[in-house]
Amino acid sequence: MSTGKEISIALAGNPNCGKSSLFNALTGAHQKVGNFPGVTVEKHEGYLDYKGYRIKVVDLPGTYSLTPYSPEEIVTREYLIKERPDVVVNVLEGPNLERNLLLTTQLMELEVDFLVALNMIDEVQEKGIVIDMKQLQALLGCHIIPTSAKKKTGLDSLLDHIIRVFRKEIQIRKNKLFFRPELEASVEKITTLLSHQKELGIFNARWLAIKLLENDREVYHEVQQYPVWVKVELALQDAIREAEHLHDSEPEILITEDRHSFIRGAIKECVRQQEEGKATVTDYIDMVVLNRVLGIPAFLLVVWGIFQLTFTLGSLFTGWLAFFFSTIASVTGPLLSNDTLRSIVVDGIIAGVGGVLIFLPNIVLLFIGLSFLEASGYMARAAFVIDRVMHRFGLHGKSFIPLITGFGCSIPAMMATRTLKSPTDRLVTIMIIPFMSCGAKLPVYVMLTAAFFAPAVAANVMFGIYLLGIAVGLWTAWLLKSTILKVDSEPFVMELPPYRWPTLNSVLFQAKMKALMYVKKAGTLILSAVIIIWAASNYPRQSSLDAALMAETARIAGSSINTSEKEARKKALDVRIKSEQLEYSLAGRAGKVLEPLIRPLGFDWRIGIALVTGLAAKEVVVSTMGTIYSIGQSDGATKDLKSILRNDPTFSRATALSLMVFVLLYIPCVAAIGVMKKEVGRWRPVLLYSVYSLSVAWVISFAVYRLALFMQ
């Protein structure tokens, strides 16, 4: 049990180094996920009790350096400097030490208290790599603990070392990384100047000096606020002139060269690699997935397989959930004597929120598949293969990463474009991200394909919808780069990590977090929207309809027909009156205004209402349809929305295809529009994009609807 003493540690490392697996192995189920303050970057925190200490673990975003180009790099650096964790655990990928040590050298420059967790030590041993731990420790100035997050070895030793560092039983030497003499002299000169500015005490003066020489804009803005800047600027100009004179280069480039020289020397001195032998499994797989001819078909086949799994297996669970919510409605309806309350609960909440939640299994399965691809190392190959295609459309190869993120959510995807140095590449990528099928659109696809297609065919249809979004996005990029944004893209280099079999815990953890976010959204935003939609669909009331219902019901009750015929006529009357009331309501009137614009697409006024409410969140399209279409049902229980749509004479397979295309392509949610404006900086491009996306959505949906009608 914890004694109340708490240690805060931060895990820092490159992407694919096993950092998140180590985090999961340490904290188990005691985790929470949120965002870092002010940015849409995931923040993982966890706790564990060990030898009387409560240890708080923060899994920092994976980053290759502490240069503030991307949100991940900014967040990691800000956390280390301002939050000051007690111990920083630098997670290194054992088989790829040379690449990982660049971040380590920058932690040395920060002079934080850090340990190295040499992860994947099992792979190091399997590959016959020999590492001189003592010598490497001497060079880095910190202890190195071999670990394997996958096999959960070395964890106790790591925790013991963390406690010893916290107790000051292990003295961190904080070795300095020295640069070439003339550059080192400039660093020392600027360090001395900065050390006299007390207001900068939160920062390490030497680190500030190095960052100023690297032309780090964030540090520039920080130091320029103080009087010492006048002297510092003169010293910087001297350093730049000397670097230009002696090396025909800039201090920033020289610092990078010296870091890499240190890393190469450390590797040569401390690591003995086994001589290259026969090809590995990674080599054989890459012969196919990186092949110029087979690479893209292989990528499409992999994604198609995930969609098949999502639908084939997911349809079993969605059927059970649909039955579950239908049973709840059947039981709840008769228990509520008040007609208004019964309508709110059955037609509103159960039909709306339940209509969204029944597709949770499909979403979980899809995210399991995508998490598996990312953790296995395949997603990096996909980016490499797709890069060749993207350059033909004028896109930077790095744009693939934000686009892939867009399949989860457009908001972090737009934030991720900050890694693109070219403003035009950023703008183009931001403009096409909403055409990627985010997770919020998935319930719409699942509901409509499940209603009108067999499971195997449904997977193919949804796969086609995803491809259509990619195609429209690429075409839009080509259009922009060919007309108003004619700027060449920069070359693209991406690391290809070795293939690894992801741990089940890691994959399931990622899927669980996405599922919890989806359920939370259903219980807050969507629930609120459902209640508002129910009110707008039921009010104002038309008193003449209520009077007509009472009179006609009394007439049927007094007729001489048999009981079953009376019930059938009452149900038919109830459906007619409710439908007329829906048309008279506020929502109905709004839908009628839109209907002439969307009728050519196969949509009536009810779908128009759903599309408008979908601007809040795309899942609301399903909940709105669940609420509105349920209002027209006469029985106390609510039928499955899929069954209602199948039996609705105004809703056909062609309508379903047209609606999926329109939801794919029209304006994203309000939150995404807000982030787009923030990232672009002006409203004009956002408004132009909105007009463009609505126009493209209308034209393509019209074409799909007419083609589907022709082929029926």
Per the CB < 8 A criterion, the answer to whether 439 and 514 are in contact is: yes
639-649 pLDDT tens trace: 567 888 888 88
Residue ending a domain, among 238, 272, 306, is: 272
Do 155 and 46 belong to one domain? yes
Give the span between the Cα atoms of 190 and 246, in whole angstroms: 19
User: Is the pLDDT score of 115 beyond 70?
Assistant: yes
Give the CATH number for residue 114: 3.40.50.300
- pLDDT score for 571: 67
- Total number of domains constituting the chain: 4
Domain that holds residue 532: 515-711
Q: Is residue 281 one of the residues assigned to a domain?
A: no
User: Is the pLDDT score of 638 beyond 90?
Assistant: no
Do 646 and 670 belong to one domain? yes
Do 411 and 549 belong to one domain? no
Q: Letter for the amino acid at 25?
A: A
Per the CB < 8 A criterion, the answer to whether 540 and 583 are in contact is: no
User: Is the pLDDT score of 524 beyond 70?
Assistant: no
Q: Is residue 502 one of the residues assigned to a domain?
A: no
Do 10 and 106 belong to one domain? yes
Do 547 and 588 belong to one domain? yes
Q: Is residue 253 one of the residues assigned to a domain?
A: yes
User: Is the pLDDT score of 473 beyond 80?
Assistant: yes
Range with lowest mean pLDDT among 180-189, 293-302, 650-659: 293-302
User: Is the pLDDT score of 698 beyond 90?
Assistant: yes
User: Is the pLDDT score of 99 beyond 80?
Assistant: yes
> Which tokens belong to 421?
């140095």
- pLDDT score for 599: 92
Q: Give me the DSSP letters along 404-448.
A: HHHTT-HHHHHHHGGG---HHHHHHHHHHGGGS--TTTHHHHHHH
pTM above 0.75, yes or no: no
Do 160 and 196 belong to one domain? no
- pLDDT score for 82: 83
Q: pLDDT-based confidence at 274, cuts 50/70/90? A: low
- pLDDT score for 40: 45
Give the CATH number for residue 218: 1.10.287.1770
Do 442 and 332 belong to one domain? yes
Q: Is residue 290 one of the residues assigned to a domain?
A: no
Give the span between the Cα atoms of 709 and 703, in whole angstroms: 10
Residue ending a domain, among 166, 195, 228, is: 166
Give the span between the Cα atoms of 117 and 89, in whole angstroms: 6
- pLDDT score for 613: 78
Do 157 and 188 belong to one domain? no
- pLDDT score for 612: 82
Q: Is residue 174 one of the residues assigned to a domain?
A: no
Range with lowest mean pLDDT among 50-54, 217-221, 554-558: 554-558
Q: pLDDT-based confidence at 162, cuts 50/70/90? A: very high
Per the CB < 8 A criterion, the answer to whether 57 and 46 are in contact is: yes
Do 611 and 672 belong to one domain? yes
Percent of the chain residues topping a pLDDT of 70: 84
Do 159 and 244 belong to one domain? no
344-386 pLDDT tens trace: 787 667 766 676 677 678 777 877 887 787 778 787 777 777 7
- pLDDT score for 463: 85
Question: Whole-number mean pLDDT of the chain?
Answer: 80
Burial of 304 (0-12, 13-18, 19+ CB in 10 A): middle
> Cα 85 from chain centroid?
26
Q: Is residue 493 one of the residues assigned to a domain?
A: no
User: Is the pLDDT score of 534 beyond 60?
Assistant: yes
Q: pLDDT-based confidence at 519, cuts 50/70/90? A: confident
Q: Is residue 118 one of the residues assigned to a domain?
A: yes
- pLDDT score for 29: 59
Closest by CA to 86, choosing from 41, 118, 43, 54, is 54
Do 468 and 373 belong to one domain? yes
Bigger pLDDT: 293 vs 146: 146
Do 559 and 420 belong to one domain? no
Q: Is residue 572 one of the residues assigned to a domain?
A: yes
310-to-118, 362, 565, 646 alpha-carbon distances in Å: 37, 5, 44, 22
